[in-house]
Structures are given as structure tokens and as C-alpha cells.
């Protein structure tokens, strides 16, 4: 299984964002995980599409855009136009999930669905033949630096079984570090989001250590 790594921009130094994004790219990351928060779906606020469009100008890395917002349908077109390569929306959001998937596909962007820790994987079943990514939250969304919720591992296994032979990436976000990485990969995750762990210290060294753990 080809495991991809997606450093989370949430943990970058926002005073030196261009520098950090170029370092992510140089380190060989597969995606940049871009967390979008609206202050309603989660308590925090990050950035809007205009700011993301500016980031798109300074890096060629694929943008994996995670919409933690109540009404994603209003903003899908704008984030697609701002340079998103993948857009994932929460099944717990207020909007119709099918309409969100259709809007993402219409813009030529890969669609994905996100599950918060308390949501059952069974809600994904109607959409499995339409999506390119499933994102399982290993923590409650909205804040960086939380500890991995142990029950997530069983959800990863259940999700991997549901996916079967479909070409769907199974992404996990939250609490992934040098200690938890091996567990989530063994359970079936093939896209790993990590913020605090990768951005603390030297990105290139941390990425190399991640790759070594994955290969083992």
C-alpha cells in the first residue's frame, strides 16, 4: 500500500507561511492538508478562499482542503477556484451531502467525506462509488495538538473493509505522531495527516522518520 503524507498547515508558522509551505514541498510531502474553519461548525476560524488562493501562488503541492464549516455548499466553488485539488466535507454539516459531492465533481476537484469521532462509518455507504477520499478524524475537529482517540483504529479497519477494491484514499487526521503512526497504517489508512509532530523541529528529518516507520 502506497502511504501518502499530508502535513497540516494548521501547525505551520503563520508569520512565515511561504517559508514553511516551501519546506513541506521540499520534504517530499504528497499533499498539504488545509483546514478551513468557520467559527460555527468548530469554535476556531482559520482562513477563507482568498487567502488560500494566495498560498496557491507559492507552492505546487496538491491542496487537500478539509472544510470544517456548517454550510460547505456555499463555498465549494470558491475553494475549488482558489486551487483545491481535493475537497472533503463533513457528513455532520448542515448541507445535503449529495449536493456537496455533485458540486465538487462539477468543478473538476476530487470529492471526499469526513467523519467526526462519534459518527458511524455506515453513513458513508450510499456515497462509496462517488468519492475519492474518506477522512476519519482521530480527534474532535477544531484544535491541533490533541491526543489520538484509540477507538479510531477500529473505525479505520471497518472503513478499509467497506472500501474494498474501490480507488478511495483512507485518510486519518488527529493525534498522529511517531508513536501512533504505525497503528493507523497497520489498520488500513493510506493518507496520514500530521501537524504538530511534523512541524516541530526540522520538517525534512521528521518526514524521513515518518517514511521509515511506514516502511517498517
Q: For the chain, what is the mean pLDDT?
A: 95
Looking at the annotation, which residues are catalytic?
Answer: 35, 173
**HEC-encoded secondary structure of the chain:** CCCEEEEEHHHCCHHHHHHHHHHHHHCCCCEEEEEEEECCCCCCECCCHHHHHHHHCCCCCEEEEEEECCCHHHCHHHHHHCCCCEEEEECCCCCCHHHHHHHHHHCCCEEEEEECCCCCHHHHHHHCCCCCEEEEECCCCCCCCCCCCCCHHHHHHHHHHHHCCCCCEEEEECCCCCCCHHHHHHHCCCEEEECHHHHCCCHHHHHHHHHHHHHC
Residue 102 CA to residue 75 CA, distance in Å, equals 13
Tens of pLDDT, residue by residue over 100-124, are 999 999 999 999 999 999 999 999 9
Q: What is the pLDDT of residue 28?
A: 94
Mean pLDDT of all residues in 96-101: 98
Burial class from Cβ neighbours inside 10 Å (0-12, 13-18, 19+) for residue 112 reads buried
* pLDDT exceeds 70 at position 4: yes
pLDDT tens-digit profile of 171-184? 999 999 999 999 99
**What average pLDDT does range 1-13 have in this prediction?**
93
CATH of the domain at 131: 3.20.20.70
Q: What is the pLDDT of residues 23-74, one digit of tens each?
A: 999 999 999 999 999 999 999 999 999 999 999 999 999 999 999 999 999 9
Is 126 a residue whose pLDDT tops 70?
yes
CA dihedral 135, 156, 205, 44 (to 10 degrees): 40
Q: How far apart are CA 16 and CA 141, in angstroms?
A: 24
Return the pLDDT at 144.
Answer: 65
pLDDT in tens, 151-208: 999 999 999 999 999 999 999 999 999 999 999 999 999 999 999 899 998 999 999 9
Domain that holds residue 114: 4-215
**In the chain, pLDDT over 70 holds for what percent of residues?**
99
How many domains would you assign to the chain? 1
What's the pTM?
A: 0.96
pLDDT at site 129 = 97
pLDDT at position 1, please?
A: 77
Mean pLDDT of all residues in 124-132: 97
pLDDT recorded at residue 145? 67
Decide if 58 contacts 66 (C-beta within 8 A): no
Amino acid at each position: 500500500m502506497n502511504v501518502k503524507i499530508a502535513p497540516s498547515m494548521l501547525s505551520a508558522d503563520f508569520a512565515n507561511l511561504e517559508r514553511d509551505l516551501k519546506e513541506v514541498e521540499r520534504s517530499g510531502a504528497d499533499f498539504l492538508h488545509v483546514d478551513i474553519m468557520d467559527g460555527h461548525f468548530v469554535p476556531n476560524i482559520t482562513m477563507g478562499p482568498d487567502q488560500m488562493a494566495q498560498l496557491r501562488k507559492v507552492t505546487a503541492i496538491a491542496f487537500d482542503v478539509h472544510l470544517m464549516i456548517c454550510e460547505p455548499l456555499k463555498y465549494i466553488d470558491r475553494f475549488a477556484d482558489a486551487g483545491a485539488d481535493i475537497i472533503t466535507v463533513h457528513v455532520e454539516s448542515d448541507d445535503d451531502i449529495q449536493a456537496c459531492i455533485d458540486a465538487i465533481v462539477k468543478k473538476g476537484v476530487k470529492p471526499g467525506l469526513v467523519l467526526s469521532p462519534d459518527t458511524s462509518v455506515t453513513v458513508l455507504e450510499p456515497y462509496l462509488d462517488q468519492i475519492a477520499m474518506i477522512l476519519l478524524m482521530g480527534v474532535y475537529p477544531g484544535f491541533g495538538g490533541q491526543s489520538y482517540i484509540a477507538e479510531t483504529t477500529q473505525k479505520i479497519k471497518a472503513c478499509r473493509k467497506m472500501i474494498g477494491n474501490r480507488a478511495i484514499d483512507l485518510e486519518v487526521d488527529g493525534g498522529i505522531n511517531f508513536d501512533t503512526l504505525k497503528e493507523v497504517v497497520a489498520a488500513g489508512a493510506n493518507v496520514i495527516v500530521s501537524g504538530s509532530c511534523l512541524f516541530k523541529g526540522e520538517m525534512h528529518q521528521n518526514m524521513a522518520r515518518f517514511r521509515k516507520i511506514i516502511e517498517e
